Structure 1
Amino acid sequence: MNVMTQILLMVNSTFVLALVVSLATLLVQGREDVLREQQAMKPVVEALIQSGQAQQILALVGSSLRHVQVAGNAVERPVEESVPAWFESLFDHPGRGYQLALTDSNGKKVVLISDDRDEIEEVWHSSSWLFWLFCGCALISNLAIYLGVRAGLRPLADVLAAFDQVQQGHLHARLGRYSLREANDLASHFNEMTESLESARNENRFLTRTLMEIQEQERSALARELHDDLGQQLTGVRVHSCVLPFQLNKPEQLLETSERILLGCDAINMGFRRIINNLYPVVLERLGLQAAVEELLRSTGQTTGLQCVLSGDHWPGWSEDDASQVYRLMQEAVNNAVRHAEATEVRISLTTDGQQQVTLQVQDNGSASSDAIAGFGMRSMAERARLLGGTLTVDFSPQGTRVTAELPYPEGEE
């Protein structure tokens, strides 16, 4: 059963109940009125009979004495004014009706009986009028409810159709404006939802495409480094190793060749350490996040001359995966300060608010603008903060750029 049928059924049931109660009340009141009229007329007729003016009484029957008639002389009423027998039977009562006898001037005995048809007819007309009034009101109410509910349900049908489109992947689905304020609010929230979903999907597509591009770039850089650097070093070590047997009787040349082999091995070792550290900071796994960040700042300062300052009152015990996300976030912020801001100083601070929130802040004194670094790096930092359950904000000012990540305190950390 749909909503329209349920509403109309409840409304019509209410009308029927109200009609039954009203008719029952009207009928009870009508029966009391009819009985009261009869009881009030009987003493009047008795008094007239006792006065001995029979002819005058008979002349008043049907006019002044309209609730009395002569037995056997009932006046036929028009069909349109007649009351159905079943309705008149509803007024049967033990105290209903009476008979009074009198003798006319000719000595003929005449019997007067009560006539309550006028009162019953009034109740019948009132009941008929009430019945048709209820029917008319019910018809108008049903029509108004049908039109109103149909207008109210139309937006729901549009919403269901739009949800079907969203389910099929068509996130461009939008709802229009409606005459109902509530429907407009629903359409506005739906449109905002689909816009957010579409934006998130586009963002995910951009991130996926950029990740694939960066993956290819890293593979190319790794291949170049292995081929151009480590490959050349290995070739040199191999060449010097091949001449060693021929220098056994030449101590000076043997010593020089051995030193070159050792230098080549050291270069290969440094190259491998550099590659491994770029792929994953081993110190993070062995010594923890704080030591890894300190090593990051030390190596960055040695390579670029950037002055790095680290401060923190307490480093929470993140899990290995979460600590890796925090490290990469800080690494990206430092790299942005080096590549885009042309900064000479960067300060990293980590503060905790009891055991509820961790605030990580990277501040540089460079001159980067939002357009200069509004790329994958900034999005990756925001995504890492979101994965950790926090938020990321970036503020640009003439004094430098400040990256602030507000992260929840790790669960289970005391």
Structure 2
Amino acid sequence: MALVFLSQGKALANEVPGGTTTINGDNIVLEAPVKAGQSEANETQAPKEELGQNDSVSLRSRMAVAPATQAQTLAVYRMYNANSGEHFYTKNSYERDSLKNIGWNYEGVGWQAPESGSPVYRLYNPNSGEHFYTLSAYERDDLRKHGWNYESISFNSAANTGIPVYRVYNPNSGWHHYTLISYERDSLVKAGWRNEGVAWYAANNGQTNNDNYRLLGVRNYDQYALGAPSGCEGAALLQALQYKGKITNWGLVQFLNTIPKSTDGSPNSGFVGSPFVEASNVYSAIYPGPLSNWAKKYDTNVQNISGTSVDGLINEVKNGNPVVVWVTINFQPVRWGAWPFGSAVNNNHAVTLDGFNKSSNQVHVSDSISGSYWLNRATFETIYNARKYAVAVR
């Protein structure tokens, strides 16, 4: 039998449709070499999800950001317990770090409180486990009569010319939430929480933390609407490059006209065919090696990070780097085909990974077929791990 090469560079015995080969330690049945395209995209749906409601830093893009340290103000840190759903607020960094060490999520600086001002009291309910914050001494004393423990003055309130911190109440759990983000307040009210008005005032805005959540929000191109039915890898790359401020005045068609072409019919050497043409007998695709070389013409800090785990990809996004990843059309199950250059995924597709939410176990992609959306990390990981092809734009 003749030898062919997979993209990993490993020589394997040539297989035929209906035969089997071993990929990633699994015995894979090979289909006929039929490249999927727009018909499969139309017949399937991407596994889109709403962003997990329990992680309120999902609204971080709505929060105005200010430096964490300013004159005559103190940072109030915001923590989140994914098990109980409680948000906790403290100006004490030791308390913040102690909670991080036992599994709480640090969400950043909720707001800046003045060093002096009206005291905001903190109480604790030993039955429910809730911490409660109030500017009212009357409310503090009334709760103590009902079994709450008074813990301390937690921080101070600015004058009513400051930034309002809103209080909402969940009638189902009996718990409260505090936020200076009006969009967050309104979203919770729509979900059934009760708006209890302004609780106190902040001296300045907060600063979110990227450990548990980040959404870059890269641009989204529609490859079909732009006449590029096979242009997914180019679209994913252009979305990432433009997020980094490169060739922002270019459109997708202009960019795809510069794509390096394969000289031997293999996506390991360049793009096979034309991104503007779809043909089931042509493996119209480009793989990480030639794509990263193409990208370096526009951004010198582009790296082929194929083989990286999903945690590694998320770390790139955490650091503000979108990642081009090779998946399948609408994240459908991987189908391998027997192509002349080696085994390859028949329903190949590429998207830009640009967000994650650890609390709800989700990632976010900009997909040139199905738009921008959140999906379950496990779904993403299953499809990505079939090849682990990825290019980071740093």
TM range (shorter): under 0.3
- Which has more helix, going by share of residues? 1
Which structure exhibits the higher relative contact order, with contacts defined as CA atoms closer than 8 Å and separated by 6 or more residues? Answer: 2
TM normalised by structure 1 equals 0.21
TM normalised by structure 2 equals 0.22
